[in-house]
């Protein structure tokens, strides 16, 4: 089950909200946990037990780490927690990748396991790891109530697509949450906006991508048009899901961190990654980069730290060499900025913005490939390799049919609309008009999004890949 589906919007969510607000305070987490397990089992019934096993191990290791805090055995329990969590992730997500590369290197034919990737395993694994590490560091207390810990890890609003919620951020909210009309209204508004971004923008742009993939008349301009549409598709898909998760969290009294902050207005790759998938970047910073020594090391070790982080960031996204290349590509750019380009880009914002959009586009060409060969082909097509024409009839066809949605996506990827609304809200008369229009506009967005979903329109679930 996904947020952008009729069963979720009009069956699952209303029933869960009814049961949640009907339940007494001491049973609200139980309602959320059972609902989350049902939500997960809808698409992956057999992997519910895997998630419960990892939750159980996290619960036990958390208690043991805290019990022996300050003693050597505490570090052993932390190591066991990390190993067990990463072993599950490694087995289900990367086993076939390693077998394929082993076969290629040795000439053998070890059969592939062909495992189905458990939905959300990349996200809930990182949440369990952050929990046990924080208990070891003493920045969080071990959770005595297994239902509360399981609720934190399995909570359906952020289970399958993030943001990666830290236990320390919602520890107190697991037992004491506030509900208010203002919070509920904000949650509904944020959810509908996220749903609209996903259904009306990301899915429509995804249709252009599908057309490109099936096209037999590719051209240089067509490659660039595809990459631009894919770049916006990923952004509105990810940020739309994050908006929906944050909105759902508000409905149930939780405050989740922001995950995107208009990354395409950046003027450097460094700034881009402060604005894109913020929860993932901060996770790698706090649990990998800083423990490796961060910036407080010599230059050679700093290079090593940066490339370890970005190798892992790329590999986290998928078990293919193109994701590793994608991560190392950003590692190279961030290293160049850190040592050579930082001051120049800070002084020349316009150039920096063009530079960011160009190199971001190349990164999405890498990211869009099903494998390394396709990623290289995409980059080659962007720069005219492979004896392809500059333009083609299908490029003009897509430009006519999707040009307006690309313009809308480009404007929506900036804070322009938000800034205009803020100016209106600062004016009492105009603010009254905005408040009067808000509910009708949100209802229209919900109705149109529902119509698209009911019509069976293109609605890919990108997170199966991650």
Cβ atoms of 264 and 235 within 8 Å: the answer is yes
Share of the chain above pLDDT 70, in %: 97
pLDDT confidence bin for 277, thresholds 50/70/90: very high
Q: What mean pLDDT comes out for the span 264-269?
A: 96
Query: Catalytic pick from 69, 179, 277, 317?
Result: 317
Q: 456 versus 103: which is more confidently predicted?
A: 103
d(CA 32, CA 14): 13
Q: What is the pLDDT of residue 105?
A: 93
Mind listing the pLDDT tens digit for each residue in 192-221?
999 999 999 999 999 999 999 998 889 999
Share of the chain above pLDDT 90, in %: 83
Q: How many CB atoms lie within 10 A of CB 109?
A: 8
d(CA 143, CA 287): 20
Mind listing the pLDDT tens digit for each residue in 308-348?
999 999 999 999 999 999 999 999 999 999 999 999 999 99
Mind listing the pLDDT tens digit for each residue in 357-407?
999 999 999 999 999 999 999 999 999 998 899 999 999 999 999 999 999
Q: What is the pLDDT of residue 460?
A: 66
Judge whether residue 119 has pLDDT over 90: no
Mind listing the pLDDT tens digit for each residue in 141-193?
999 999 999 999 999 999 888 799 999 999 999 999 989 999 999 999 999 99
Q: Which of 236, 261, 250, 242 is nearest to 163 (CA)?
A: 242
Judge whether residue 92 has pLDDT over 60: yes
DSSP track, 22-50? HS-GGGHHHHHHHHHHHHHHHH-GGGHHH
Classify the C-alpha dihedral 234-239-240-244 as positive or negative.
Answer: positive
Mind listing the pLDDT tens digit for each residue in 72-87?
999 999 999 999 999 9
Q: What pTM was estimated for this model as a whole?
A: 0.93
Judge whether residue 288 has pLDDT over 90: yes
Instruction: Judge residue 393's burial from the number of C-beta atoms within 10 Å of its C-beta, 0-12 exposed, 13-18 middle, 19 or more buried.
Output: exposed
Judge whether residue 430 has pLDDT over 80: no
| 317 included as an active-site residue | yes
Cβ atoms of 8 and 14 within 8 Å: the answer is no
d(CA 232, CA 462): 13
Q: 132 versus 427: which is more confidently predicted?
A: 132
Q: What is the pLDDT of residue 217?
A: 87
CA distances from 139 to 63, 155, 177, 257, 293 (A): 14, 22, 21, 18, 19
Judge whether residue 461 has pLDDT over 70: no
Judge whether residue 43 has pLDDT over 80: no
Q: What is the pLDDT of residue 463?
A: 56
Q: What is the mean pLDDT of the chain?
A: 92
Q: What mean pLDDT comes out for the span 293-303?
A: 91
Q: Which of 380, 402, 400 is nearest to 223 (CA)?
A: 380
Q: What mean pLDDT comes out for the span 24-37?
A: 95
| 3-class secondary-structure state, position 210 | helix
Q: Which of 119, 139, 125, 140 is nearest to 57 (CA)?
A: 125
- Chain-centroid distance of CA 220 in Å reads 30
Cβ atoms of 240 and 195 within 8 Å: the answer is yes
């Amino acid at each position: 089950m996904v947020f952008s589906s009729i069963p979720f919007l009009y069956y699952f969510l209303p029933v869960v909200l009814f049961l949640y607000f009907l339940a007494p305070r001491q049973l609200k987490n139980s309602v959320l946990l059972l609902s989350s397990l049902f939500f997960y089992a809808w698409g992956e019934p057999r992997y519910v037990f895997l998630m419960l096993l990892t939750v159980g191990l996290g619960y036990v290791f958390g208690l043991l780490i805290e019990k022996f805090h300050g003693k050597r055995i505490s570090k052993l329990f932390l190591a066991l927690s990390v190993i067990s969590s990463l072993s599950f992730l490694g087995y289900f997500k990367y086993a076939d990748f390693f077998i394929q590369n082993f076969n290629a290197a040795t000439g053998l034919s070890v059969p592939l396991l062909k495992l189905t990737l458990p939905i959300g395993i990349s996200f809930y694994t990182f949440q369990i790891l952050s929990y046990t590490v924080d208990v070891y560091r003493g920045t969080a207390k071990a959770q005595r109530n297994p239902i509360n810990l399981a609720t934190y890890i399995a909570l359906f609003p952020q289970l399958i697509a993030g943001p990666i919620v830290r236990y320390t951020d919602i520890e107190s909210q697991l037992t004491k949450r506030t509900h208010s009309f203002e919070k509920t209204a904000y949650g509904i508004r944020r959810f509908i906006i996220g749903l609209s971004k996903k259904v009306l923008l990301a899915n429509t742009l995804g249709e252009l991508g599908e057309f490109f993939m099936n096209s037999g008349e590719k051209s240089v301009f067509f490659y660039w048009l595809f990459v631009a549409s894919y770049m916006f598709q990923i952004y509105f898909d990810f940020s739309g899901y994050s908006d929906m998760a944050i909105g759902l969290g508000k409905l149930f009294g939780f405050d989740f961190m922001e995950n995107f902050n208009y990354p395409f207005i950046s003027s450097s790759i460094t700034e881009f990654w402060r604005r894109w998938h913020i929860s993932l970047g901060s996770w790698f910073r706090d649990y990998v980069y800083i423990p490796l020594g961060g910036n407080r090391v010599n230059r050679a070790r700093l290079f090593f730290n940066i490339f370890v982080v970005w190798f892992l960031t790329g590999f986290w996204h998928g078990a293919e060499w193109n994701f590793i290349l994608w991560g190392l590509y950003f590692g190279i750019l961030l290293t160049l900025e850190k040592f050579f380009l930082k001051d120049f880009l800070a002084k020349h914002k316009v150039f920096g913005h063009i530079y960011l959009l160009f190199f971001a586009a190349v990164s999405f060409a890498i990211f869009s490939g099903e494998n390394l060969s396709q990623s290289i082909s995409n980059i080659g097509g962007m720069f005219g390799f492979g004896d392809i024409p500059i333009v083609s009839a299908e490029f003009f066809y897509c430009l006519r049919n999707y040009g307006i949605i690309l313009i809308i996506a480009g404007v929506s990827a900036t804070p322009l609309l938000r800034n205009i609304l803020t100016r209106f809200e600062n004016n009492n008369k105009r603010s009254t008009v905005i408040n009067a229009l808000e509910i009708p506009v949100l209802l229209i967005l919900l109705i149109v999004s529902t119509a698209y979903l009911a019509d069976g329109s293109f609605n890919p679930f990108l997170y199966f890949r991650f």
